[in-house]
Structure 1
């Protein structure tokens, strides 16, 4: 599920998928969790687009 959302976000830039992905990351602490650095980096890039 996370991988699907991640790929969807990368392709579309849909902020809703990104927010849902953050929720999933917060709920599930597993080894496949995306790194916070990467999320922050992308979040910064996304914010800069405005």
Structure 2
């Protein structure tokens, strides 16, 4: 497994096509990326407000 930025051009196009055609994988990709940022930097740029999410529960 490699970091998406280190993919060859053809692999990057294939990865982008898969994400474009599968909303579930696109969402999973965003979650995994956010988790990786937390692990690497202790924070993440989330596409939503966590406090807003939990206030709806």
Same fold (TM over 0.5): no
TM-score (norm 1): 0.42
Please identify the structure whose Cα radius of gyration is greater: 2
* Structure with larger RCO (C-alpha < 8 A, sep 6+): 1
TM-score (norm 2): 0.38
